[in-house]
Structure 1
């Protein structure tokens, strides 16, 4: 398991207004893995504002170009986010994600919960509105979408799930949970959470395994739950 990365002293450390450097949980010559905070968009959207992409120069660590995102997380989803440090790394990472060779596990707190302790959700997804491609729905002619789940705890009408997206569709975990009858706590789009003053989306990218170099052990990283999820997880049996 990767340990938190420490900044090197052999180059100047630039200003880090978002506190990204302390949030690195893996760093090597090819890959960075960041524990992305909830509420930070990775790219610019119609609403504007600060994004992760604006601050990637902070994570150069002496290289001539900024690292780039190998995949993405939703604005409200915290946890493991992978960046490639150079072009060859990005090409390799892109291939791994495209082939489905990257193992990703998310944790979610959901309202209610599935009857079974483990299983699969196999529901095709498509955009609800072509003008808003991020807004998804279950559709018979949509893209195949598969999620595996395991119950890690139950209490008080909620469940703590480990979710493994076999496919990587937009909002896949959020739609799959909602459409199966157990929406993610704090989901303002597919659940019943209010847009303001709610508990925050209780979903984060817990861990990731990257078989980057076939001659070496896979790169493994694990993020800790964001602050807004800790109370609900503790009530379901999680111990910090």
Structure 2
């Protein structure tokens, strides 16, 4: 898929800026950090640092996921925010459209994940060596044989939401790794990081950042 990398030519969308924090709305199709090779050098951190040279990485979103992504403006803020992510003190809410009509109103997926080494970067469920991965989900509405859901990851495993939705029989629409057949035939992966809640590193007040779902 590397050869197909065509990063979107869109301006940087800043949602919030202060002395400690920078919050942007990441477009889908753009890497969070550079990949291996010059053709994968265009990424969000590079674009952010072109405008805010002091910006420091805190977390990542998958290339095909859009939405709220936060950067630190100081080393102290980077440490503070990094610990919040590590200790699961941040709250993330995603919106996704998935294949099929989800019958239940809500549920929890608790399936341990680990990298599928022969097929990396794919992840898979492994009850022996996998790491804990928990996702809460709630149905929003059914749309033309698909379902819009709100996802709240309780852990932060790679590809967690994508694998969990696939495992319960409702892969995320347009997911190039885990969807197949008609579920793959969409213009983008229908996964968006809609909301991120955390404590500000200066004073600890709670803050919520949101980016409207574009699909």
TM-score normalized with structure 2 length: 0.87
Choose 99-108 or 42-51, whichever is displaced more. Answer: 42-51
Q: Is contact 1:186–1:202 with CA below 8 Å preserved after alignment?
A: yes
SS of the residue aligned with 2:122? strand
Q: Is contact 1:113–1:181 with CA below 8 Å preserved after alignment?
A: no
Moved over 6 A (4+): none
CA distance in 2, matches of 1:129, 1:58: 35
Instruction: Please name the residue that 2:92 is paired with.
Output: 104
CA distance in 2, matches of 1:193, 1:102: 35
CA shift, 1:214, in A, is: 8.4
> Of 109, 127, 144, which aligns to 1:156?
144
CA shift, 1:215, in A, is: 4.8
CA shift, 1:188, in A, is: 1.4
CA distance in 1, matches of 2:74, 2:118: 34
Q: Is contact 1:209–1:221 with CA below 8 Å preserved after alignment?
A: yes
Larger Rg over CA atoms: 1
CA shift, 1:59, in A, is: 3.4
Q: Deviations over 1:32-69 (max 9, x none)?
A: 11100001101122353311222232332xxxx52012
CA distance in 1, matches of 2:187, 2:153: 24
Are positions 1:40 and 2:30 aligned together? yes
TM-score normalized with structure 1 length: 0.79
> Of 90, 95, 103, which aligns to 1:115?
103
Structure 2: tracts of 5 or more residues without a match:
1-8
Instruction: Please name the residue that 2:124 is paired with.
Output: 137
CA shift, 1:123, in A, is: 0.4
CA distance in 2, matches of 1:219, 1:157: 36
Alignment length, in residue pairs?
204
